[in-house]
């Protein structure tokens, strides 16, 4: 506002120099009129119509006072001068309007050209991306960088996930609003935020929210169409990937069953060979004898562990386990799991976040410790050495939610939907990390026996968070 008042003042200050110059050069009334008219056009082109109209009125008064007889008064003696005065004023105002219109059209044309260039850049990145599934995750970042929005968020109906450009966007663009718009097609327009539905034909495929953008409604529609096509394309690729992953999973299960059989045979073979050596040896020193007995002891423990894991999976499948459900502080299970797995977690800093005053949960202490042990084992296996692991607890309604977060490579969308299946292991690290693929399946079965649920939140390259809920004691 202060800047606008400065422009008003400077517009009026065009008059004294023109009057002085015309008086100094003894210019006639026509020359002075053209000089004033030129000043009006310059001000209109630079500062807009309001400043130009103010200058037009001021210039008309100065033109009358200094150049129309009788000079030095606002009185006009000759009627023709009245015509000249009003003609000058009307000409100045019309010229100002024309100049303002031309200025606005130029600005609009420049803005549209810039938006078209931005839309072209977005379409190139969306339609030429090789990894379509990873592209959906990066769309909010691309919208922020290309269109100059401060924050952006995208909700996809196919994945039922919300993707944000940054952490602050989570607070400014509520997830509930995005899902409501994505499901019903309602518009959300506030002073700072706009959320628009994404459609393919008559079907809603998601919602796009932006904060701090200054785009036209046409550009927003075009962005929405491009993003909707990208989401639909990602959905089609994901369905195809799931179909292929299903076939791959069946093949992998056969391989893993063979691997489990091999895991059983390996310790049996070692035990058998050591026992036979002890039986047939007539002379054997004490160190060799102790070494063979150590092999038998270690391999027996390994075999016992494998048999126990397989038996536990069979029991859980048959719902044949009995839980001793009592109110317990979840911190007891966490501390027990950390103690049991302290050697495995030695290469990681474990941060435990349990707020004071949390209610007790109805749980079987030993089996809850097993759930946490499976999740901690999983986080330690798949996280780089030295990265932190966070165990946190929070209350959500009538459930107590415990989460184990790591900073590993994350899990891609193809693996995410099958990560809790028996014998399934992620494609990326299945050859480098040992395991049978039963740990998460066991954890899921135990959680469901408690009346809770378990789920995964992950983004490739940013780590994973495994969370499970248990009912709160009444």
Whole-angstrom distance, CA of residue 131 vs CA of residue 185: 28
Whole-angstrom distance, CA of residue 309 vs CA of residue 315: 10
State the chain's maximal CA–CA distance in angstroms: 145
Using one digit for the tens of pLDDT, what is the confidence trace for 214-258?
777 777 888 888 888 888 877 777 777 667 766 766 665 665 565
pLDDT interval class at 395 (50, 70, 90) = very high
**Residue 334: its pLDDT value, please?**
94
Residues 6+ apart with CB under 8 A from 266: 299
* pLDDT (mean) for 393-409: 91
Q: Provide the angle, in degrees to the nearest 10, between the axes of the packed helices 49-67 and 2-12.
A: 30
Q: Provide the angle, in degrees to the nearest 10, between the axes of the packed helices 49-67 and 29-47.
A: 170
Question: pLDDT > 70: what percent of the chain?
Answer: 81
pLDDT interval class at 112 (50, 70, 90) = confident
Task: Extract the tokens encoding 354.
Answer: 């349990």
Q: Rounded mean pLDDT of the chain?
A: 79
Per-residue pLDDT at 166 exceeds 80 = yes
DSSP state of 284: -
Whole-angstrom distance, CA of residue 38 vs CA of residue 41: 5
Per-residue pLDDT at 468 exceeds 90 = yes
Q: Kind of pairing, strands 389-396 and 350-353?
A: parallel
Task: Report the sign of the C-alpha dihedral through residues 177, 178, 184, 189, in that order.
Answer: positive
Helix, strand, or coil (residue 151):
strand
**Residue 332: its pLDDT value, please?**
93
* pLDDT (mean) for 63-87: 72
pLDDT interval class at 404 (50, 70, 90) = very high
Per-residue pLDDT at 107 exceeds 70 = yes
Whole-angstrom distance, CA of residue 40 vs CA of residue 212: 35
Using one digit for the tens of pLDDT, what is the confidence trace for 417-447?
777 776 666 555 554 455 556 778 888 888 9
Task: Extract the tokens encoding 245.
Answer: 């992953």
pLDDT higher for 285 or 393?
393
What the chain holds in terms of domains, given with CATH numbers, is: 2-110 (no CATH), 131-241 (3.30.450.40), 248-317 (1.10.287.130), 326-471 (3.30.565.10)
How many C-beta neighbours within 10 Å does residue 467 have? 19
Using one digit for the tens of pLDDT, what is the confidence trace for 319-377?
657 788 999 999 999 999 999 888 888 888 999 999 988 999 999 999 999 899 989 98
Q: What is the DSSP string of 188-238?
A: EE-SSEEEEEEEETTEEEEEEEEES----HHHHHHHHHHHHHHHHHHHHHH
Whole-angstrom distance, CA of residue 46 vs CA of residue 412: 55
Residues 6+ apart with CB under 8 A from 404: 372, 375, 376, 378, 379, 389, 390, 391, 465, 466, 467
pLDDT higher for 23 or 282?
23
Whole-angstrom distance, CA of residue 230 vs CA of residue 124: 11
Per-residue pLDDT at 448 exceeds 60 = yes
How many C-beta neighbours within 10 Å does residue 11 have? 26
Per-residue pLDDT at 118 exceeds 60 = yes
* pLDDT (mean) for 153-181: 84
pLDDT interval class at 100 (50, 70, 90) = confident
Per-residue pLDDT at 466 exceeds 90 = yes
pTM over 0.75: no
Per-residue pLDDT at 2 exceeds 60 = no
Residues 6+ apart with CB under 8 A from 320: none
pLDDT higher for 3 or 442?
442
Most confident of 50-59, 273-282, 385-394, 434-443: 385-394
How many C-beta neighbours within 10 Å does residue 468 have? 24
Question: pLDDT > 90: what percent of the chain?
Answer: 13
Whole-angstrom distance, CA of residue 402 vs CA of residue 468: 6
Whole-angstrom distance, CA of residue 137 vs CA of residue 231: 10
**Residue 392: its pLDDT value, please?**
94
Give how far Cα 236 sits from Cα of 134, 222, 241, Å: 14, 21, 9
Per-residue pLDDT at 460 exceeds 60 = yes
- Burial label, 217 (beta-carbon count in 10 A; 0-12, 13-18, 19+): exposed
Q: What is the DSSP string of 39-89?
A: HHHHHHHHH-HHHHHHHHHHHHHHHHHHHSSSTTSS---SHHHHHHHHHHH
């Amino acid at each position: 506002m202060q800047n606008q008042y400065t422009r008003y003042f400077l517009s009026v200050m065009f008059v004294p120099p023109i009057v002085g110059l015309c008086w100094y050069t003894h210019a006639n009334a026509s020359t002075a009129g053209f000089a004033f008219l030129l000043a009006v056009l310059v001000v209109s082109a630079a500062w807009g119509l309001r400043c130009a109209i103010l200058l037009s009125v001021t210039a008309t008064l100065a033109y009358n006072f200094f150049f129309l007889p009788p000079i030095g008064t606002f009185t006009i003696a000759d009627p023709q001068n009245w015509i000249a005065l009003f003609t000058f004023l009307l000409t100045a105002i019309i010229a100002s309007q024309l100049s303002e219109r031309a200025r606005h059209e130029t600005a609009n044309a420049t803005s549209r050209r810039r938006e078209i260039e931005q839309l072209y850049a977005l379409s190139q990145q969306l339609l030429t991306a090789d990894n379509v599934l990873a592209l959906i995750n990066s769309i909010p970042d691309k919208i922020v960088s290309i269109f100059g929005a401060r924050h952006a968020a995208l909700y996809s109906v196919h994945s039922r996930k919300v993707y944000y450009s940054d952490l602050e966007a989570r607070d400014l663009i509520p997830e509930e609003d995005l899902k409501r718009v994505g499901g019903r097609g309602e518009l959300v327009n506030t002073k700072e935020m706009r959320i628009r539905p994404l459609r393919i034909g008559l079907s809603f495929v998601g919602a796009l929210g932006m904060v701090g953008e200054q785009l036209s409604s046409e550009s927003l529609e075009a962005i929405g169409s491009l993003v909707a096509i990208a989401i639909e394309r990602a959905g089609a690729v994901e369905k195809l990937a799931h179909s292929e992953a299903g076939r791959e999973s069946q093949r992998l299960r056969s391989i893993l069953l063979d691997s489990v059989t091999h895991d059983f045979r390996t310790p049996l073979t070692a035990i058998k060979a050591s026992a036979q050596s002890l039986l047939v040896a007539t002379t054997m020193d004490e160190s060799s004898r102790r070494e063979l007995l150590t092999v038998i002891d270690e391999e027996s423990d390994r075999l016992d562990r494998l048999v126990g894991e397989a038996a536990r999976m069979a029991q859980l499948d048959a719902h044949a386990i009995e839980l001793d459900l009592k109110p317990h502080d979840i911190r007891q299970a966490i501390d027990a799991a950390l103690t049991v797995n302290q050697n495995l977690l030695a290469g990681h800093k474990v941060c435990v976040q349990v707020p004071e005053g949390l209610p007790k949960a109805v749980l079987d202490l030993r089996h809850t410790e097993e759930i946490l042990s499976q999740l901690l084992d999983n986080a330690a296996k798949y996280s780089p050495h030295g990265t932190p692991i966070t165990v946190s607890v929070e209350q959500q309604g009538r459930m107590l939610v415990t989460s184990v977060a790591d900073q590993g490579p994350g899990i891609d969308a193809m693996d995410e939907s099958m990560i809790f299946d028996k014998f399934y292991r992620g494609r990326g690290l299945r050859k480098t990390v040992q395991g049978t693929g039963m740990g998460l399946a066991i954890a899921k079965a135990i959680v469901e026996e408690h009346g809770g649920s378990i789920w995964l939140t992950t983004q490739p390259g940013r780590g994973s968070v495994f969370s499970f809920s248990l009912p709160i004691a009444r």
